[in-house]
Amino acid sequence: MPVPQSTPRPIHHVLIAGAGIGGPALALALRRLGMRVVVVERAPALREGGQAVDFRGASHLAVLERLGVLDAIKARRTPPGDLLLLGRDGTSHVRLPPSFTGGDVEIFRGDLSRVLYDASSADTEYRFGDEITALAENDDGVTVSFARAATGRFDLVVGADGLHSGVRALAFGDEELFLRPLGFQVAGFTVPNFLGLARGMHVFSAPGRGAALSAGRYPDELRALLVFRSPRLPSGTTRESVQMDILPRIFAGVGWHTPRILKELETASDLYVDALSLVEAPRYSRGRIALLGDAGYGGTMGGNGTGLAVLGAYVLAGELGRARDAGQSHQVALEAYETRMRPHARTCQAGARATPAASSRRGPLSSWPCVIGCTASSARACSAVCSSDWPRARRGRSTSPRIQPSPRHDVTPRCADAPRRERAELYTSVRRDDLYASGVKPIGGQDCVNQASRPSCTLERSSKKRREIVGQARETREVRRRVCTGERGAA
């Protein structure tokens, strides 16, 4: 006689760790499916402030609309502004339009967290100032111990608690197994608006270091961002040592407004410091424990982490609802969630991985502004704008930026002391159409005028034609150097 199979226990009670972005988004989606949701957050309250984040593309906007928060996000969106890439003298060399840097809608991270919290808090239990300390799973659920609250029993536990996820550490292993540093450290904090900047961002680069100032949440504020090349900070590093010793020492003598930024750093109360890293988890779930957003597939700058977290929350909730309605187990839902999200997450992480790697091969941080402004969806255009030819300092050559205009965006490279007519002749000397007619293939959105000497750029014609193209590129760069440095005889 066949043994009757038991009906899978449906998911009714869900615990989410993390009240940043992915956690409240998932809570909102699950409550619409009639599930009971508890969100536990280690911080004593919602985290205010933070850098601006954005959403890009029809899928992001559709998910926000279906969650019912798109209008509220648009009401709090940041004013669109240009991103200026500055030269060593502080003058603007490249201007990137808001559509390139801010996506379809941009909002400060703290405001987005507030929107998602307000939309979900009416029928979701939020526990601030607490955290998960232990997880014990069996076939029927997960027993969870907390630092403050009494032990609880849940059908599903979701870790949406960031790059340094506590849930991932408890259920999957130490973070060293999953965290992949990209070789850069980033520090963000608020400073007074001494530039009178109402919108946009100014970016300054130096060898191994970069500084940016962007319009803040309020008119009297600026958001300062410092990025520097370093695999990791020394063990035992504290917030105070970063604030009072490490950052002032690394950015000493950089120029531009960094002395003022470092002065304001001394009294900053909202300093955030972390390594630019990727999270590469072999699985997004194990049993009744799942990972969401940065905890499972974080991409930091350039990885579109905010949009990825909200999209992942929507997909996870949808798969849980689909499995419940079909009488299927939670494993089916979690496998479908990973199947749908992993290819998209991998693509987004590729954008975050490529840009820091590219800039680490050059002297100055030539590509790090692209980490701020680009996602995988704009990677090709980003490469075209930010693949500047920065010769290495050890070769004794100039380290001033040489930026090619992007054919897809309104980008205008400038030399402050070059006459307008000379600049016009300079940047039209080797045009995109001429390159295509000569048989040069664009690689990843880049024109091979800057890459012709590298194996990755393919030429369809003879080696003689290759030498001609390389010669034209070198001649063009030499003309640009002479014009921008004020030398005469730049024919």
Return the amino acid letter for 141.
Answer: G
The Cβ of residue 439 has, within 10 Å, a number of other Cβ atoms equal to 15
Q: List C-alpha distances in Å: 57 to 62, 63, 104, 111, 304.
A: 9, 10, 7, 20, 11
Count how many residues are written for the chain.
Answer: 491
Q: How far apart are CA 295 and CA 17, in angstroms?
A: 10
Backbone angles phi, psi at 484, to 5 degrees: -70, -25
pLDDT tens by residue, 382-439 = 333 333 332 232 233 333 333 233 333 333 333 333 333 333 333 333 233 332 233 3
Domain map (residue ranges) of the chain:
13-345, 377-491
The predicted pLDDT at position 407 comes to 32
Residues 6 or more apart in contact with residue 65 via CB below 8 angstroms = none
The predicted pLDDT at position 139 comes to 85
In this prediction, the residues of the chain whose per-residue pLDDT falls under 70 are: 1-8, 301-303, 352-491
Contact at 8 Å (CB) between 490 and 421?
Answer: no
Tokens of 252: 């000493």
pLDDT tens by residue, 133-181 = 999 999 899 999 999 999 999 999 999 999 999 999 999 999 999 998 8
**309-344 exposure pattern, b = at least 16 Cβ within 10 A, e = fewer:** bbbbbbbbbbbbbebbeeeebbebbbbbbbebbeeb
Contact at 8 Å (CB) between 297 and 314?
Answer: no
Q: How far apart are CA 104 and CA 369, in angstroms?
A: 19
Backbone angles phi, psi at 165, to 5 degrees: -60, 130
Q: List C-alpha distances in Å: 321 to 135, 206, 260, 376.
A: 24, 51, 53, 29
CATH code for residues 13-345: 3.50.50.60
Q: List C-alpha distances in Å: 406 to 288, 299, 384, 445.
A: 48, 25, 6, 9
Looking at residue 467, the DSSP 8-state letter turns out to be H
